[in-house]
Amino acid sequence: MEEKNGKPFLNFKVVGLVIRASGLGPWSVVFAVLFFAASIIVSVFEPGVGGLGNATWLMFQVVTTIGLGDFTAVSLVGRIAIIALSIYSVFYLALITGAVVSFCTETMHARRDESIAHFLYQLEHLPELSPEELVALSEKVKKFKKAV
């Protein structure tokens, strides 16, 4: 796992927080149950798959749409399990993606609003700022003008 600024790039606690905050907890439970149920069903009804491990690998391929073709379902029951998982996972992954994007957007807006509030506070209290703070504020304004 890569690190960025001393923090892990992918923090599973944050992912869990996003899932809970967005109300996707029940969707996640259904997804996990459907994933493993489909794995078990395929491992039982598809003799060509060769066990639960390979069935789980096939379900991973179904969910991620990589479909390497290692294994295929030929029975009606196996195909129905794969279809159900495929349809559910398309919607579930779209919801998760939307929740993560929304979380990131809200975080960026909160940081921006915090910066703007701090900037306005400094402007309101200009006479009280030290010479160093005034120089720093001037640099921020110059950077902002260049960006715009």
Domain count of the fold of the chain: 1
Q: What is the pTM of this model?
A: 0.65
User: Cα separation of 30 and 88, whole Å?
Assistant: 9
Angle at 82 between CA 81 and CA 88, to 5 degrees: 90
User: Cα separation of 25 and 101, whole Å?
Assistant: 17
Along the 148 residues of the chain, how does pLDDT read in single tens digits?
Answer: 445 555 555 677 777 888 888 888 999 999 999 999 999 999 999 989 999 999 999 999 999 888 888 888 899 999 999 999 999 999 999 998 888 888 888 888 887 777 878 778 888 888 888 889 888 888 888 887 787 6
| Phi, psi angles (nearest 5°) of residue 3 | -120, 145
Tens digits of residue pLDDT in 5-14: 555 556 777 7
Task: Give the structural domain span for 18.
Answer: 3-147
User: Cα separation of 103 and 93, whole Å?
Assistant: 15
Write the CATH number for 93: 1.10.287.70
Percent of the chain residues past pLDDT 70, beyond the cut: 93
